[in-house]
Structure 1
Amino acid sequence: MLRRQDVGHRVVVRRIVGVSQERTLYSDALGELVELTETDLTIATEKGTLRVPLEAVHRAKRVPPARRPPAADVIALELAANDAWPAPIQSRLGSWILRAAGNWTGRANSALAVGDPDRPLDAAIDAVTQWYEAHGQQPLINAPMPLAAPVNAALDERGWTARPLTLVQTARIAPLLTAVPARGDLPPVELADAPGDDWFAMVAEHKGTLPPIAVRILTGVREIVFAHVRDAHGELIAVARGAVTGPDRWLGVSLLQTAPAARRRGIAQQVVGGLAQWATQRGSTRAYLQVEERNTAAVALYGRLGFSTHHTYLTREAPAG
C-alpha cells in the first residue's frame, strides 16, 4: 500500500470497479500521486485527476518515474514564472521565496518551495507559517511536483490541504507559430505596452476586482505586452498578457480570455500566435503557461497548439487556526 512519502511520485493503482458473475472486476490507473488521506487517494493521470476510495484499492505501488525534466530545469522555469508575476513583497528562506501581495492570487501569495530552505524541513515550514502570520495572511506553499514531494509529504502530516492541481505547460515557439496560421477572417491582435481600461475590465470579470496591488503585479515586468482583440464595433472580445523573463528568455502566457460570444472561432489561437511573434523578436524560443488541470477546455486548447505538461504544482494551505 502507498504511504505519504509516495506523494509526488509515479504510482500504479489497481482498483475494484465492480462484480460480474461473482468475479471481481479491476481497473488499473497510472499517474502521479497528488494526495493521500485516511479515506482516499488522488492521482493525476494522462486523462485527468482520479480520486479513489481506499476501500476500493486492491493493490497500489510506486513505479519508476516517467521521463521528466531535470530538477534544475523545473527550478529555472519556476523562477522565470516568479519574475513574470512579481509579488511586491518577497523574502528569502534559503532558496525558497516567500511572497505576499495582499492575497491577490495564490501565485503571488505563496512560498515557492524550490531548492534548499537552508534548515530542516519542519523548521522551514514553521518559518513560512510565522512569516505569513506576521504579514496577516494565511500561510500558503507552492510545491512543484515531483520536485517538492518531501515538502508535500511533510505538509500532509501537518494537515495542510491542497488546492486543485495546476499544470505548468510548455511549447517551442517555432512550431507554435506554425500551428497558428494567419486568418484574414478574424480581427487583428493589437499588442500594446500598457493595458487599456477595457482590458482591465475584462480581466476583472475573470479575476474579480483588481486592487492597486494587482495592477502593480500585472504591469511590473520590464519586457511585457498586452494583447487586445476588438470586433468590428470596437468592443473588446479577447485579451492576454505576455512576459519575457529569466536567463532562458521564457515567454509566459497568462490571462488569456475570450468573450463568450466570440469563442470557438480561433481567436484565442490567434492571440497566442501574436504573443509568440512578439516574443520571438526578443529572443524567446520557448513559451509556458499555467492552467488548472480541471479546466479541461483550456487544457484541450493548449494541447492543440502544441503545449504539453512540463511539471505540475500544488498550492498547499495551512489548516485554519
Structure 2
Amino acid sequence: MLRRQDVGHRVVVRRIVGATQERTLYSDALGELVDLTETDLTIATAKGMVRVPLQEVHRAKRVPAARRPPASDVVALELAANDAWPAPIQSRLGGWILRAAGNWTGRANSALAVGDPDRTLEAAIDGVEQWYRDHGQHPLINAPMPLAAPVNAALDQRGWTSRPLTLVQTASLTRLLAEMPARGDLPPVDLADAPSDDWYAMVAEHKGTLPAAAVRILTGVPGLVFAHVRDADGSLLAVARGAVTGPDRWLGISLLQTAPAARRRGIARQVTGELARWAAQHGSHRAYLQVEERNTAAVGLYGRLGFSTHHTYLTREAPPA
C-alpha cells in the first residue's frame, strides 16, 4: 500500500470497480499521487484528477517516473515565474523565498520551497510559520512536485492541507505563432505598456478587488505588456498580461480572459500569438502559464493552443493556529 512519502510520485492503482459471477472487475489508474488520507487517495492522471476510496484499492505501488524535466529546469522556471509575479514583500530562508502581498493570490503569498533552506526541513517549516504570522498572514507553502516531495511529506505529518493542484504548462513560441489564426475578421490586439482602467475592471471580475499590492504585482516588472482587444464600439473583449523574465527569457502569460459574448471566436488564440510575437522580439523562445488542474475548460483551451504540463505544484496551507 502507498504511504505519505509517496505523495508527489508517480503511482499505479488497481481499483475494484465491480464483479460478475465469474470474476472481479478492476480498473487501473496511473499518475501522480497528490493526496493520501485515511479514507481516500487522489491521483492526477492524464485525463484529470481521480479520487479512489481506500476500500476499493486492490493494489497500489510507486512506479518509475515518466520523463520529467531536470530539477534545475523546474527551479529556473519557478524563479522566472516569481520574477514575473513579484510580491512586494520578499525574504529569504536559504534558497526558499518567503512572499507576502496582503493575501492577493496564493502565488504572491506563499513560500516558494525550491533550493536548500540552509537548515533542517522541520526548522525551515517552523521559520515559514513564524515569518507569516509575524506579517499577519496565514502560512502557505508552494511545493513544486516531485521536486518538493520531501516537503510535502513533512507538511502532511504536521497536518497541512492542500489547495487544488496547479499545472505549470509550457509551449514553444514557434508553436504558438503557428497556431495563431490568419483571419481578417477578428479585431486587432493592442499591446500596451500599461493596463487601461477597463483592463483592470475585467481582471477584477475574475480576481476580485485589486488592492494596491495587486497593482504593484501586475505592473512592477521590467519587460511587461498588456493585451487589449476591443470591439468596433470600443468595448473590451479580451485581456492578457505578458512578462519576459529570467536568464532563459521565459514569456509568462497570465490573466488571459475573454468576455463571455466574445468566446469561441479564436480571440484567445490570437492574443496568445501576439504575445508570442512580442516576446520573440524580446529574446524569448518559450512561454509558460499556470492553471488549476480542475479548471478543465481552461486546460482544454491551453492544450489546443499548444501547451503541455512541464511540472505541477501544490499550495499547502498550515492548520489553524
- How many residue pairs end up in the alignment? 321
Q: Give the corresponding residue for 1:94.
A: 94
CA distance in 2 between counterparts of 1:197 and 1:71 reads 40
Q: Give the corresponding residue for 1:237.
A: 237
- Residue 23 (structure 1) shift: 2.5
Q: Give the corresponding residue for 1:19.
A: 19
Secondary structure in 2 matching 1:136: coil
Q: Give the corresponding residue for 1:174.
A: 174
2:192 maps to 1:192? yes
Q: Within 5 A, what are the aligned runs for 1:248-259?
A: 248-259=248-259
The one-letter code matched in structure 1 to 2:180 is V
Q: Give the corresponding residue for 1:69.
A: 69
Secondary structure in 1 matching 2:142: strand
CA distance in 1 between counterparts of 2:42 and 2:122 reads 24
Q: Give the corresponding residue for 1:281.
A: 281
Q: Within 5 A, what are the aligned runs for 1:1-321?
A: 1-21=1-21, 23-321=23-321
CA distance in 1 between counterparts of 2:271 and 2:54 reads 44
CA distance in 1 between counterparts of 2:225 and 2:23 reads 60
After alignment, is 307-316 or 18-27 more displaced? Answer: 18-27
CA distance in 2 between counterparts of 1:198 and 1:266 reads 21
Structure 1 consecutive aligned stretches of length 4 or more whose deviation exceeds 4 Å: none
The one-letter code matched in structure 1 to 2:254 is S
Q: TM-score scaled by structure 2? A: 0.99
The one-letter code matched in structure 2 to 1:181 is P
Could you give the per-residue CA deviations for residues 212-266 of structure 1, whole angstroms, max 9, x where no partner exists? 1100100000000000000111100100000000000000000000000100110
CA distance in 1 between counterparts of 2:82 and 2:33 reads 25
CA distance in 2 between counterparts of 1:19 and 1:139 reads 46
Q: Which runs of 5+ in 1 are unaligned?
A: none
- Residue 24 (structure 1) shift: 1.7
Secondary structure in 2 matching 1:184: coil
Secondary structure in 1 matching 2:5: helix
The one-letter code matched in structure 2 to 1:220 is G
The one-letter code matched in structure 2 to 1:142 is N
Could you give the per-residue CA deviations for residues 51-88 of structure 1, whole angstroms, max 9, x where no partner exists? 11111111000000100000000000000000000000
CA distance in 1 between counterparts of 2:155 and 2:49 reads 20
Q: Is the 2:181–2:266 Cα contact (8 Å) retained in structure 1? A: no
CA distance in 1 between counterparts of 2:164 and 2:182 reads 35
Could you give the per-residue CA deviations for residues 182-218 of structure 1, whole angstroms, max 9, x where no partner exists? 2111000000000000000000000000011100100
- Residue 22 (structure 1) shift: 5.4
Q: TM-score scaled by structure 1? A: 0.99
The one-letter code matched in structure 2 to 1:131 is W
- Residue 181 (structure 1) shift: 2.7
Q: Which runs of 5+ in 2 are unaligned?
A: none
**In angstroms, what is the RMSD of aligned CA positions?**
0.7
The one-letter code matched in structure 2 to 1:145 is M
CA distance in 2 between counterparts of 1:19 and 1:175 reads 46
